Chains A and B, each alone.
Chain A
Amino acid sequence: MQELSLHILDIVQNSIFASADSIEIEIEEDSERDALVISIRDNGWGIPKEYLSRAVDPFYTSRETRKVGLGLSLLHQAAVQSGGYLDVSSEEGKGTEVRAFFKHSHIDRMPLGDIGKTMSVLIIGNPQIDFAYHHRVEGDEFRFDTRSLREELDGIPLNDPHVIGFVFQEFEAWMTKQNSTLRGGRR
């Protein structure tokens, strides 16, 4: 995978598989601390203690369709290759938190990529799940919470064609703003 946002999409699939109905995604970029931190928290069924230490092992998986489990191990590798690390904590019956730390300026750190597409696909493709997205870049921040979106929509489903356009637009606007800041040379 060539973007951190694809890894995020992949890790969230684990949360969905674990029957989570609330998923929080937090991204923090801080060049002063030279850090990029991604946190994914869910309220799914969690990982049993005895398997937690093997979560990043590519040759361990709880699935039955194939014999390898690559999601967490690929993210682990992406973090380590850029001077960072991966932390997985979980409590059975309560949920799981995956945190990936990256050295922001590291030459081998993958770009975040099209996080707007990742989030739009997740939100619209899983209308039964509540997503809370929080992205901080230096002093700037963006939040998107499907709970408040649902309240405003008053019964209109999240996968209504008008709502689909709206979700894409909101994330695109935030990404465009970030890119213009980047070009302005602040980062």
Chain B
Amino acid sequence: MNLDELKKIREKAKKEMEQRQHGVGVKRVIVGMGTCGIGAGARDVMAALLDELSKKGINDVEVTQTGCGGHCEYEPLVTVVDERGQVIYGKVTPDDAREIVRGHLIEGNILGNLVFEPV
């Protein structure tokens, strides 16, 4: 492990944490990571989400994973939960994932063409 770099990261992150103590609601992004999700590309979708969040320096979004919810054919499924409620996106690609970060999480627009609607 590169300890010098870790030390720098610790100091930087601590400073930022102190600055955002007040009233920021945490948003959540949940990626379906069952066998079906992984087979459909969920790992690269989640990696793209994390990479985009990290590059944009966004620290009020928590990315987690869940198992199979039974809609295997619509995987990879990505659920975004924020103060307005929950939106589920289906058949998400890594490019879509970056768009979810920019469009939904940063600008606050729901990406209508990606929304999952079970038939």
Known A153-B10, A160-B59, A162-B9; contact A170-B1, beta-carbon cutoff 8 A: yes
Residue numbers in B under 8 Å from A144 (CB-CB): 1
* B6: interface (CB < 8 Å): yes
For the A-B complex, the count of residue pairs with Cβ-Cβ distances under 8 Å equals 106
Nearest CB in chain A to that of B39: its residue: A1
Known A125-B63, A156-B10, A161-B59; contact A71-B1, beta-carbon cutoff 8 A: no
B56: min CB distance to chain A, Å: 8
> Which segment of B64-72, B84-92, B106-114 sits at the interface?
B64-72
Residue numbers in B under 8 Å from A66 (CB-CB): 68, 70, 72
Nearest CB in chain B to that of A64: its residue: B70
Residue numbers in B under 8 Å from A118 (CB-CB): 43
Given contacts A70-B35, A117-B44, A162-B13, 7 further A-B contacts (CB under 8 A): A125-B31, A125-B33, A125-B63, A149-B6, A154-B10, A160-B13, A163-B13
A94: min CB distance to chain B, Å: 22
A156 and B54 contact, CB distance less than 8 A = no
With A and B bound together, what is the CA distance between A163 and B10 in angstroms? 8
| Residue in B6, B57, B72 whose beta carbon sits within 8 Å of that of A161 in the complex | B57
Within 8 A of A (CB), among B41-63: 43-44, 46-47, 50-51, 53-59, 62-63
Interface of B toward A, CB cutoff 8 Å? 1-3, 5-7, 9-10, 12-14, 17, 31, 33-35, 38-39, 43-44, 46-47, 50-51, 53-59, 62-65, 67-70, 72
Within 8 A of B (CB), among A122-156: 124-126, 144, 148-149, 152-156
B90: min CB distance to chain A, Å: 16
Known A9-B33, A159-B62; contact A125-B6, beta-carbon cutoff 8 A: no
Known A74-B35, A148-B1; contact A163-B67, beta-carbon cutoff 8 A: no
B43 and A6 contact, CB distance less than 8 A = yes
